[in-house]
Structure 1
Amino acid sequence: MAAVRASVARAQLTLKEPPAAVGAKPGGTIAQLNLQFNPNSLQLRKSTEWRRTPSRMAGESALPEFVGSGPRELSLEVFLDATSKHDNSVEQAVEKLMKGCVPTPASLARKKPASPWVRFEWGSARTTSFDGVLSSLSVTYSLFDVDGKPLRATCSLSIEEASVDPPGQNPTSGARTARSTHTVVAGDSLPLLAWREYGDATAWRVIAEANGIDDPMALVPGAELVVPALGDVGGEEER
């Protein structure tokens, strides 16, 4: 019996309404672009940040202290071809991509302008599939009809990660939506972290409760702290 050949997985780009609040999930789908041709290559980047404290007594450079990791950034090229289509134009697909670079009407109505969140999906790939925002987009038209309509285009775009997988429930505080996480470095304290995150050093108790910390000054370098969302902070202060 002849083996059945699996169908080719097609890549797609989905634009979704940006979250209405910090820590929330993206909203409904604004536009979806099913790619005619799968990319020839994908470039995935991720950076880490280190800090060194100069030492006058050290004969060599000081040991680096891990500060945190940057977001993933995916770069790819999308090839569009409308020579065999009835409308003979690639502009409709380009306009969908352009929507990813401007604030959505719903976010403008909330007076919190934000561009759509973008997700690239291709089969079962996981490392290249994440919620992000378009950090750059360039379009090169390479073929035109006699009336000037662009028939072919190459779109180069970069998607920067906008969220990370939630860390889940904290065993000491129960379920809590996390705004972010922070890796402790030497010299950190909860009042300092609260000032950086909320602009209010007195809000350190919210972070302490979320992580089961009794002494706000005794933090262990390398430990990862959950920093609650702004809504959680407001809820604590109202109690």
Structure 2
Amino acid sequence: MLDMLSNLMPFKAEAKLKIESWTNIERPGKPDKTFSAFINPDEISLNYTVLTERNPTPGSTGNAGAFLGTSPFEVTLKFYLDGTNANGVKLDVKEKIKEFYEATGYDGKGHRTRFLRINWPGLIWYRANQFAFDCILKSASINYKLFKPDGTPLRAIINAVFTEKRTDTEVQRDRDDQSADLTHIRIVKEGDNLPGMVYQIYGSVKYYLEVAKANNLVNFRDLPPGLKLVFPPFDKNLKRIGDA
């Protein structure tokens, strides 16, 4: 069964999904650790729950209670680790599981689990234009499927659940994601360019130099995938050279 799944996975020799981790919730700069995996996109579950009052109004029937908010967004992933070389990729299952734990598990210096960012350029993580998911590990289970005669694992499946975990500032900025008068945060995906992203937010490309300055971009023509950019509100009367 795992061989069949491996054959269905595109770009076998390239890791498509990455889990990056930091000890700081701000997730500054390059990640401290990274877990890269080959994963079937069909094994990704996105869970979003709306919370309402459970105490119904006396005399009412068949109606949801008042809106209370939303629970943290959750993502469930299933990783297939195959060390038999059946798909042409050499993989040490034991080392890969160790890599997963070191990237997602408990950090002694921070005295807690690590702050994570899941990157998959081809998938929008529910929120509009968000191509990365800031989270923490909620739970993980490992199911070993095949062993060498000496007990070394050859195949395993990691089932992991991640809960959204963002900074308070990011949560506040996301309250009204459709307004150009508020600050926006976007994660760069492959193929993005700054003028195009600026146009999506403001409806005009004239602010791209101001956005580059706000993010301290030295070379805004070469944006690496996974980079977090802040799009602050600007004076709508701002005019640049070339504007009518």
TM-score by length of 2: 0.53
Aligned mates of 1:159, 1:67 — CA distance in 2: 23
**Which is higher, the Rg of structure 1 or of structure 2?**
1
Aligned mates of 1:148, 1:49 — CA distance in 2: 47
Aligned mates of 2:136, 2:174 — CA distance in 1: 26
Taking a change above 3 Å as real, the CA distance of residues 60 and 36 of structure 1, as seen in their structure-2 partners, is closer
Deviations 1:14-53 (A, max 9, x none): 231232xxxx512452322221343432111110111155
Aligned mates of 2:33, 2:63 — CA distance in 1: 50
**1:79 corresponds to which letter in structure 2?**
Y
Q: Does 1:146 align with 2:144?
A: no
TM-score by length of 1: 0.54
Taking a change above 3 Å as real, the CA distance of residues 39 and 80 of structure 1, as seen in their structure-2 partners, is farther
**2:78 corresponds to which letter in structure 1?**
E
Identical aligned pairs, as a percentage?
20
Aligned mates of 1:162, 1:88 — CA distance in 2: 31
**2:118 corresponds to which letter in structure 1?**
F
Taking a change above 3 Å as real, the CA distance of residues 149 and 114 of structure 1, as seen in their structure-2 partners, is same
Aligned mates of 1:161, 1:169 — CA distance in 2: 13
Aligned mates of 2:39, 2:19 — CA distance in 1: 16
Q: Does 1:90 align with 2:93?
A: yes
SS of the residue corresponding to residue 126 of structure 1 reads coil
Where structure 2 has 5 or more consecutive residues not aligned to the other structure, the ranges are 1-9, 127-131, 176-181, 184-244
Confirm or deny: 8 A CA contact 1:55 1:62 kept in the other structure: no
Aligned mates of 1:120, 1:163 — CA distance in 2: 13
Residue 95 of structure 1: how far off its partner (Å):
1.0
Aligned mates of 1:132, 1:105 — CA distance in 2: 19
Structure 2 counterparts to residues 1-239 of structure 1, below 5 A: 8=11, 10-19=15-24, 24-27=25-28, 28-56=30-58, 58=59, 60=61, 64-84=65-85, 89-100=92-103, 102-107=105-110, 113-127=111-125, 129-163=132-166, 165-168=170-173
Match in the other structure for 1:224: none
Where structure 1 has 5 or more consecutive residues not aligned to the other structure, the ranges are 1-6, 108-112, 177-239
Aligned mates of 1:10, 1:135 — CA distance in 2: 23
